[in-house]
Amino acid sequence: MRPTPYRLTLVVFLALFVGHVQAANGITPPHSGIHPMPQQRASGSFDVKLNPLEPYNRTEDAKLGRLSIDKQFHGDLEGTSQGEMLSAGTVTSGSAGYVAIERVTATLAGKSGSFVLQHSATLNRGVPTLNISVVPDSGTESLTGLSGTMNIIIEGGKHSYEFDYTLPAAP
């Protein structure tokens, strides 16, 4: 099958798009001169304060909630965060979900700045799934280029975190 000009244009566009996405995600071609540091782990505890906000939708069956988030991080990550959470419950006990965005202003490995965490979580009949990741290119100041994922642990009513992260090496 001979490629039409449309297909050829689409293939070229996709190749350029994939290259752009790879570059935006820190995937660099060989010999680019950028050398990321190995992944590191930060851990510690945090205090969290959730406050109800006016929900966007008030239907009985939706069970939607909206909360503000205020955190104080302790340990390898020292600082604060503020954000907002949207949650949804269901009529099935043990099934729910939430999404959240929080801006963290902190010191990590002796470097100060801010970055944004994006949360996505579900509870499927009591089985939890949680994904928290750094929004790409959200790092500022000494945390520019930060990438990583965070895990939240709740035991005995206490909150702690494990933050697996990578920062670009200093030039």
What's the CATH code of the domain at 83?
2.40.350.10
Enter the pTM of the model.
0.76
pLDDT at 13 over 90: no
Choice among 8-12, 42-46, 75-79, 131-135 with the minimum mean pLDDT: 8-12
- Phi, psi dihedrals of residue 52, rounded to the nearest 5°: -65, 140
Residue-wise pLDDT for 121-155, tens only, equals 999 999 999 999 999 999 999 999 999 999 999 99
Whether 56 is covered by a domain: the verdict is: yes
In angstroms, what is the C-alpha Rg of the chain? 20
pLDDT at 160 over 60: yes
Whether 10 is covered by a domain: the verdict is: no
Whether 52 is covered by a domain: the verdict is: yes
List Cα–Cα distances, 5 to 2, 18, 38, 76, 153, in angstroms: 10, 20, 44, 55, 54
Largest CA distance in the chain: 65
Total of domains in the chain: 1
Whether 99 is covered by a domain: the verdict is: yes
Give the mean model confidence (pLDDT) for residues 150-164.
97
Whether 24 is covered by a domain: the verdict is: no
Whether 100 is covered by a domain: the verdict is: yes
* Residue 63: pLDDT band with limits 50, 70, 90: confident
Whether 11 is covered by a domain: the verdict is: no
Give the mean model confidence (pLDDT) for residues 84-101.
94
- Structure confidence at residue 77 (pLDDT): 98
Cα separation, 134 vs 77, in Å, equals 14
- Structure confidence at residue 62 (pLDDT): 67
Give the mean model confidence (pLDDT) for residues 72-84.
98
Whether 113 is covered by a domain: the verdict is: yes
- Structure confidence at residue 61 (pLDDT): 67
Structural domain of residue 78, as residue ranges?
A: 42-166
The sign one gets for the Cα dihedral 32, 34, 38, 44 is negative
DSSP SS3 for 106: strand
Cα separation, 27 vs 46, in Å, equals 32
